[in-house]
Amino acid sequence: MPAFSTWRASATSPRSSALKLEFVPLKTDTIGLKATIAGELDSFEGGPGGSIVAAARGADVKIIGCSWLVVPHGVSVRDNISAMADLKGKSIAVSAPGSFPELVAKAALEQAGMAVGDVKFASMGSDTDRYKALAAGVVDGAIVSNEYLPIAAKSGIKELVAGSKRCRISCASALHATGKTLSARHDDAVKFLAAEMEGLRYAMSPSRRSHRDHHEITGSKADDQRPAFVFDWAVKAQAGRARPADPDGTKLDYMQNQLVKAGSMPAPIDLAKVIDGSIREKASSLAGM
């Protein structure tokens, strides 16, 4: 789930612990992007596609790091669907137009040699909303995180296409903030990203097996297998990075071309103008990485 945060500064320490973070629950990264641009949030974590589109339209938004480099989402379907071609004329639940789930759906269709017009996109908010719609038979397919795989069979659902294997998108989630925020609160931004690095490094430490079942943090029940499943998958796929990757424009170019092809933006832009790697480099130093 995307993380949306507001930073609250404190003078107690010069290190990353000098910030108090407030996490704001929102359903989609599209809403997080709008709230960040409006100044209601200091940052948000989610798919970079929306930020690229917004920047192409003149919005002040910057990508400062990519911490999730393998796509966890895929095309999940009812048991009666055995191939992408079986979805012709049927509905696939995605999120808002131009969102990360929609891009995954389009990439899967492209890989299968299908046109976007071969299916119907149903715009539904969160992964939970899309999964419930699929389980209820409201849609025939849905773009959801693989966290649902441990419980999918009970609802007659399976993953047809794994985005990690079939999708060329190489930055599933990125950290974003406005240029105005990064300028006005530069030191706070560095501390915020350093804190994220320290937290991810701790989670991925050699003793990480004890971190697999954080039901209290995720709000899940003690017998819910999903937190441990996602953790193990992320470790095996090397999906997460304690030190967020440099938001290299070449890695985002495929996503940008997909957005142009979909009509979300008129033409490609210079992605270097959307990227600010300076915060990441200073945060890496502060976090001792």
pLDDT over threshold 70, residue 151? yes
The strand pairing partners of 174, in sequence order, are 46, 66
The pLDDT score that the predictor gives to residue 223 is: 73
Return d(Cα 122, Cα 112) in angstroms, integer. Answer: 20
- Examine the pLDDT at 209 and tell me if it is beyond 60: no
Per-residue pLDDT band at 2 (split at 50, 70, 90): very low
pLDDT of residue 4: 45
Question: Over 70: is that where the pLDDT of 160 sits?
Answer: yes
pLDDT for the residue numbered 200? 80
Q: At what angle do helices 249-261 and 100-111 cross, to 10 degrees?
A: 80
pLDDT exceeds 50 at position 83: yes
Averaged over 35-53, what is the pLDDT? 91
For the residues 31-42, what does the mean pLDDT come to?
92
Q: Report all structural domains of the chain as residue ranges with CATH numbers, in order of start.
A: 4-69+170-286 (3.40.190.10), 73-166 (3.40.190.10)
**Sorting pLDDT into bands at 50, 70 and 90, what band is 6?**
low
Q: Which pLDDT does position 217 carry in this prediction?
A: 62
CB 49 within 8 A of CB 100: yes
pLDDT of the residue at 90 = 97
pLDDT at 210: 60
Write out pLDDT tens, residues 176-202. 999 999 999 999 999 988 888 888 888
Of 53-62, 134-143, 226-235, 262-271, the least confident: 226-235
